[in-house]
Amino acid sequence: MKTRSILIVALTLVFAMSASAQLAKTNLGAHNIGGTNGCKSCHAPHNGSVATGLTDQSTGKILLWDRAISQVVYGTYTSPTMKNPVTEIGGTTLPTNTDDRIYSLLCMSCHDATITPSIAIGATKNIGSGDAATSSYGLRNDHPVNMAHNATLQPTLNADTIVTSGTDALALFGANKTVQCASCHEPHNNTNGDFLRIANTNGTALCLKCHK
């Protein structure tokens, strides 16, 4: 009986812990655009972006997206030691609603110098990611996205099951377990700062969840 109640306590604890790994959509922070647009800063509950005065009804097929989908070619990071090949996230072939790359491309509908230079990602925020006009390096000098997290191909990675479990779980997308912007970031909750899924304690905790 005693062992059983210890087991129940332990299990409850495990469930409580795994529940806390998922951040609630309760702290939109700077993502509450204009201070009042709330969820509609990014999602349109009906009719794609037409619902809010834009023209493309089809954008709503992709997570009810309320913005234009970027068609810029961002480029891809590569190096002699990279084992999981990176695939371009942008380009004129628009994603389907089941493409893994939507978990990166949707971020770029704002964090892209072609749209709003002041919030573009990059060492200097005004140097535009993917902005051909400013000759920037696009996504070639950023942590790679849109590649599989395959620890068999790259043995210095932790197994994907380690990445996606525990109180510090990160997200991998699709059957190929791909890394996307939303692997490290949770756009709905700024509790950890920089919309990170987990606190990057000592500047290493986030990185070491995936890299050994």
Nearest of 68, 66, 70 to residue 37 by alpha carbon? 66
Which residue, 11 or 85, is less far from ligand HEC as judged by CB?
A: 85
Residue 44 engages ligand HEC in binding (rule: CB under 6 A):
no
Q: Which residue has 């491309």 as its token pair?
A: 105
Pick the binder of ligand HEC from 97, 161, 207, 212 (CB under 6 A).
207
Q: Which long-range contacts (CB under 8 A, 24 or more apart) does 206-212 make?
A: 206/170, 209/158, 209/162, 209/163, 209/168, 209/170, 210/149, 210/157, 210/158, 210/163, 210/170, 210/179, 211/156, 211/157, 211/158, 212/156, 212/157, 212/158
Residues 149 and 84: beta-carbon distance below 8 Å? yes
Site for ligand HEC, residues 139 to 168, rule: CB under 6 A: 139, 143-145, 147, 149, 154, 157, 163
Residue 125 engages ligand HEC in binding (rule: CB under 6 A):
yes
Contacts for 170 with CB less than 8 Å, ≥ 6 apart? 163, 164, 183, 184, 197, 198, 206, 209, 210
Which residue, 3 or 36, is less far from ligand HEC as judged by CB?
A: 36
Which residue, 58 or 176, is less far from ligand HEC as judged by CB?
A: 176
User: In whole angstroms, how close is the CB of 11 to ligand HEC at the nearest point?
Assistant: 25
Pick the binder of ligand HEC from 44, 70, 111, 114 (CB under 6 A).
111
Q: Footprint of ligand HEC on this chain (CB under 6 A)? A: 25, 28, 30-31, 33, 38-39, 41-43, 63, 79, 81-84, 103-104, 106-107, 109-111, 119, 121-122, 125, 139, 143-145, 147, 149, 154, 157, 163, 170, 179, 181-188, 194-196, 200, 206-207, 209-211
